[in-house]
Amino acid sequence: MKVAFLVAPEGVEQIELTDPWQAVTDAGGTPELVSPKSGRIQAFNHLDKADTFPVDKTVGQATVEEYDGLVLPGGVANPDFLRLDPKAMAFVKGFFDAGKPVAAICHAPWTLVEADVVRGRVLTSWPSLRTDIRNAGGTWVDEEANVCTNGPNTLVTSRKPADLKAFNETFLGEFSKVPG
């Protein structure tokens, strides 16, 4: 299982990147860090700078076809930066168009709103995104982890870092159903 982790050059919540990344690795999968820019990304522990991580591929180099699924970590700034990048948005939308599973946690559903892929779907997120999701045509629920199969692919969402165990177990279960 090869999984793309899409993050902005800065602003990703570190634990929402590293914990799912480790879960993919522990499951025998191959995670790759994809970002709009090459080099290193700057992670955060809430609003404080944390570690940096090397980018494996830029969104211009990566293709949806080479991955079995997509993970969108949160962080307040991360999805907001990604929303402004047309290539990043095309990359996200490409997973939906190809029917491949996507997992998003915390503030990451902002990216899904911008990609226009939440209409008719049920999802969860950090509570402050509730109105944005509803305005984009989605149904917001307050659940530890939610699986929505309404559409061409499976969408797994989760609310916050405290839900990471459930998020990881749920998205790995769904991603493992992908043939290949």
Q: Which residues are catalytic?
A: 106-107
* E-assigned strand segments in 20-73: 30-35, 40-45, 48-54, 57-58, 69-72
Residue 170 corresponds to which tokens in the numbers above?
Answer: 């749920």
Question: Under a CB-based contact definition with an 8 Å cutoff, are residues 1 and 21 in contact?
Answer: no
Question: Under a CB-based contact definition with an 8 Å cutoff, are residues 115 and 138 in contact?
Answer: no
Q: Which of 75, 74, 78, 65 is nearest to 35 (CA)?
A: 78
> How many CB atoms are closer than 10 A to CB 88?
25
